[in-house]
Amino acid sequence: MSVDWFGYGYAVLITIGGIIGYVKAGSVMSLTAGLLFGIAAFVGAYQMSKNDKDIWVSMGTSGSLTAVMGARFLGSWKFMPAGLMTGASLLMFLRIGVKILQTSQKKKR
């Protein structure tokens, strides 16, 4: 199996974002959410590195962040941090979706 470098990078981005939110604004909620979602993304990337079909933690994490941060972005129209996290989460969610489609296509052949 190949290492899910994109997944690990996404986990680092989430974690660093939470830490920056805490340092800049003193937001304990940003720190807590960043650490919890960062750990979940890390676990998802680890699982996908071990088994390409074990996508559910990654999909749940990226889907949840797409919805939550997307709503925040639509409310504020500020790129940082809501727009960046919406875009990164949506890209991860779509990447996993493409992986699912590719796997189902291989099964049909």
Residue pLDDT, tens place only, 6-51:
999 999 999 999 999 999 999 999 999 999 999 999 999 999 999 8
Cα maximum dimension of the chain: 54
CA distances from 109 to 34, 99, 106 (A): 41, 16, 5
Nearest to 95 by CA among 33, 31, 52: 52
> What does the pLDDT read at residue 109?
66
Task: Identify the CATH number of the domain defined by range 5-108.
Answer: 1.20.1440
CA pair distance 75, 57, nearest whole angstrom: 27
pLDDT per position as a tens digit, 84-98: 999 999 999 999 999
What is the pTM (predicted TM-score) of this model? Answer: 0.90
